[in-house]
A and B are shown apart, each in its own frame.
Chain A
Amino acid sequence: SAVISQKPSRDICQRGTSLTIQCQVDSQVTMMFWYRQQPGQSLTLIATANQGSEATYESGFVIDKFPISRPNLTFSTLTVSNMSPEDSSIYLCSVRGGQVYNEQFFGPGTRLTVL
């Protein structure tokens, strides 16, 4: 299994500002995933980040709002730009691994509150 850390763990931000969330993995991985989750609810995939290429965004998410960087095989960042209260959520990064391809390992999440 992979060990994943995220920074910050939580933040309170003002409307119109941007926040960059960092995700560090203890091993090299090809794909990293960014999810959004309302507390107590399921996960919504924002985008898949591949090293050396542009991230692939899911329907409803755009690069201008959620730019992603993937400078190497162990690190990625997700920026939430021009924030509004609707962006208040938990943001999780994850990687695939394990004995079965679809198994995923998650970071502890970043709890964002936008005022």
Chain B
Amino acid sequence: TQLLEQSPQFLSIQEGENLTVYCNSSSVFSSLQWYRQEPGEGPVLLVTVVTGGEVKKLKRLTFQFGDARKDSSLHITAAQPGDTGLYLCAGGSGYQKVTFGTGTKLQVIP
């Protein structure tokens, strides 16, 4: 069974601070996705990383895929209240079932 552990589980920070969320597994994934979910909505895809060591930037969000494709991180610079939500990583390999991470609940206080 593939597991994706996220840390921290909860994070409450002030607007303008930086933060990093980690997604770790003992399994290798061919691709890894990050999603953000706001209350009352379904998860929304933010990014996909597929190459070991890959770094992708989406405005203030920076995503990195580990060299061995077993882990990933999400760094947010100068967090804003609009970044508040549940962040989920998800990994998949080929046509296998997608595994979702344990989730990180982020609250950004104005």
A107–B101 CB distance below 8 A: no
Complex contacts, A101 vs chain B, CB 8 Å: 31, 92, 94-95
Residue in chain B with minimal CB distance to A102? B92
B41–A109 CB distance below 8 A: yes
Which of A41, A98, A109 lies in contact with B103, CB distance below 8 A?
A41
Interface of A: prevailing SS: loop
**Given contacts A43-B100, A92-B42, A104 and B48 within 8 Å (CB-CB):** no
Nearest CB on A from B15, distance (A): 21
Name the interface size band of chain A: 20 to 34
**B contact residues vs A (CB 8 Å cutoff):** 30-31, 33, 39-45, 48, 50, 86, 88, 90-92, 94-95, 97-98, 100-103, 105
**A contact residues vs B (CB 8 Å cutoff):** 1, 4, 39-43, 45, 92, 94, 98-109, 111
Known: A43-B43, A108-B42. 8 other contacts (CB 8 A): A41-B102, A43-B100, A92-B43, A100-B48, A100-B50, A102-B90, A108-B40, A109-B42
